[in-house]
Structure 1
Amino acid sequence: MLAMRSGCCPDPVDSPEGAWHLIRTLQFKTAVDEDGNHLSSGVERDVPWVAIAPVVAAIRVLERIVPEGELLFCSDYHRGTERHRGKALGGDGIREGLTDFITWANQEAARHGLTHEVIPADPAGALTSVRFRRTLAWHIARQPGGLVALALQYGHLRTVLDTDVAGGYGTRSRRGIHDLIGIETALSTAETAADLHERYSHGEGVSGPAARQALHQASTVRRFEGTTVKADFARKYLARDGTVLYDNPHALLLCRYKRDLALCERLTDSAMPALDRCVAGCGNAVRTDLHAQQLRARADSFVRRALHHPQPIADRLLTATGRLRGLADDHDRTRVTCQEPHA
């Protein structure tokens, strides 16, 4: 990002495939010449970033600050230190920029009376670029399909799609995206298990073919609060087939992933579920009372949407409504609580 220059995101040319804003910049970690020697000057990324509207707007603002062709984050125009003159911002400049942004955001929140939007003071001190990167990764990784999105955003898709390449690539840096994905996934699954145990202990019902096994794992899972999780431990933690619990808010269920039961991964030997290809009737599925409530809420929203769509689309929405309510009813009939013996 610090290598981006004014003009790196030109306005797109309309085409039958649609218009996309593309960001072209340099990469450095894997920049090598034809003989395999590292190029400190970097090379252009093979695949440009696809920019959404807020990113394009931010680039346009930066292009008004710096001269044409200049680095968007040139230290000369962003209160950088003397030793970074003519270069991109260093760690100190980035840290000051993040601090200034937090101050501005809190002022805006106070001005509009949005007290719940205030960014609290960080007990660990000023926010650094490394910690900011981890914060972004935390939020991305905890969405359905978030691991692939995380790899796409950070420019290392092959670390997700190819295990052999990922292993070699991830070892080039202790802070490589491969390690980051594993750590965030391990933390996320541990939080999912802890949440299930807490809900069940407070009387919430649980159902599904993997409910009993999931409850056992949730009651014995390791907690990570206040613990530094290393990449090697995260990989071993996630490799425990049949004992890792994944949240899938898109499908409104939990996945107690066991490879030989997974309908999403019949053609691969993946150690993790494909949450974007969740299949109804999978033996790894688990649902809670909250999921049943969300299923009915989604069904109600489909009914409202059906009123404003042509009949073919409305019919599909109503069919989906019946399926969602059926899943919620199945949960109500088969749910168990901590006060009841397991079937």
Structure 2
Amino acid sequence: MSENTHTQKREAADSESKEDYVSSKKAKIESCAMGSDINGVKEPSFLIEADAAEDKGSRHTMEDAWVVLLDATLDYPGNLRCAHFAIYDGHGGRLAAEYAQKHLHRNVLSAGLPRELYDAKVTRRSILNGFLKTDESLLHESAEGGWQDGATAVCVWVLGQRVVVANIGDAKAVLARSTDGSRNFPDRVQALKAIVLTREHKPIFPLERARIQKSGGFVSPDGRLLGRLEVSRAFGDRQFKKVGVVATPDLYSFEVTNTEHFIILGCDGLWGVFGPSDAVDFVQKLLNEGLPVAIVSRRLVREAVRERRCKDNCTAIIIVFKHN
């Protein structure tokens, strides 16, 4: 992607501590008008503030990659608002994660992601085709380059008033939603429910195991594919594609109303030490203190790595819906 993708790795220190090695970036806040009408297309009645943070944990290398694009139109402009966020969790190396980071969203756009009016069927087809094209081209390039690593993915597109989530592997998206309408009562503490928007793809799960066995593979007693791979869907993993590993995502969509507050995207390292409700409560408390998303994302990752002893790479993106 271009320099506007804001996906470069950073090693900036947290301003609150010179010893904070969690990398993050300046908060990104959408600048489009709320509730306006442009060429007959009504703009959503909310803005988006989003940011990402990462830490390699106790690993020697960082194999995650991520994307934060508040304006994700690239070379495909249109009246329909398009934002894109993604985390790619690499395994066996970083090349597959970086490849998906660079190519997936553009492939989804070129496959026909709606740019004028939201269409659920067209959106679904373009995301599925974009995932397939990305994996096919990645496999071709990895064969030529002699590398075999893979990457899981959790991706979000905000199209107008709709959110579409796609995932492969064990990265997750969690939505924080009001349960009692407390957004309308600013003096009350909001009660937020954590809703997991994604389904993990593990070899031991029945549907995944059936596909693997049909392809001639097996799942070992510890739940790994051929005793080696912990996920059953991923980009790349060239040596496992013939035994049932696919890059077909699960998709979920919903319309943003005033009850949707924020989404947390995280690799499996984050969710290994945070439960969904625990993470929502942690983020909600900091947002209620008035902290910007840039600081909240860094504190979430710092809590995971330093306090809860996450030993894996840890990456998180927080997407906040700022309503009128």
TM norm structure 1: 0.26
Structure of greater relative contact order (alpha carbons < 8 Å, 6+ residues apart): 2
TM norm structure 2: 0.27
Please say which structure displays the higher CA radius of gyration: 1
Larger % of helix: which? Answer: 1
